[in-house]
């Protein structure tokens, strides 16, 4: 498996159905030489906070195949904690405080696959019960307990069903 964050922060501008959208964006690529349901994890956390001056991307896999990585403005860390209230990077006195929350998705993968019925025959039933929860949250970046920037974080939690 190979993870490559090729665009940690970019700017986008899209015209769609007579509306204009613009802002900060992020893009990555995950290459796997095995099926996703073979990944030995029970929970997966992944998210990002982008602002004009800061880029924070985090991933944590919990289970037999553990993995933990936070990238803050290009520097990598593994000593962070995912908490209910936010992301704590104690070694740098940084806290990404989550506030108001909007749930964007909370459903099993099977609901998404139902839109393409043929896929159901190729995926294990237990994998179809894997639940994805996605949030958009108002967020403040605190360094040494002082607010540096405010914006939004997008993140998700995946509960694997084996």
If DSSP codes are grouped into helix, strand and coil, which group holds residue 120?
A: helix
**In which domain, by residue range, is 154 found?**
2-159
**Element housing 126 (H / E):** helix 125-128
109: DSSP letter: H
Report how many domains make up the chain. Answer: 1
Q: What is the pLDDT along the chain (162 residues), one digit of tens a residue?
A: 788 888 888 898 999 999 999 988 888 888 889 888 888 889 999 999 999 899 999 999 999 988 999 999 999 999 999 999 999 999 999 999 999 999 999 999 999 888 888 888 888 988 899 999 999 999 999 999 999 999 999 999 999 876
- What one-character-per-residue DSSP string does 5-29 give? EEEEEEEEEEEETTEEEEEEEEEEE
Residue 142 CB burial class (10 angstroms; 0-12, 13-18, ≥19)? middle
The residue among 9, 3, 15 whose CA lies nearest residue 46 is 3
The first and second tokens of residue 95, run together, are 């806290």
Q: What angle do CA 132, 10, 151 make, to 5 degrees?
A: 65
């Amino acid at each position: 498996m190979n993870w490559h964050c090729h665009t940690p922060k970019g700017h986008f501008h899209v015209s769609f159905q007579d509306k204009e959208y613009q802002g900060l964006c992020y893009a990555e690529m995950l290459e796997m030489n095995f099926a996703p349901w073979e990944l030995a994890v029970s929970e997966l956390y992944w998210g990002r906070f982008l602002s004009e001056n800061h880029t924070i991307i985090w991933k944590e896999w919990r289970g037999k195949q553990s993995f933990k990585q936070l990238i803050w403005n290009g520097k990598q860390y593994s000593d962070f904690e995912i908490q209910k209230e936010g992301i704590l990077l104690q070694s740098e006195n940084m806290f990404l405080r989550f506030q108001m929350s909007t749930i964007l998705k909370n459903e099993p993968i099977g609901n998404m696959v139902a839109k393409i019925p043929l896929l159901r025959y190729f995926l294990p039933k237990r994998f179809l019960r894997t639940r994805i929860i996605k949030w958009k949250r108002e967020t403040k970046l605190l360094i040494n307990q002082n607010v540096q920037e405010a914006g939004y974080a997008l993140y998700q939690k995946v509960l694997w069903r084996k």
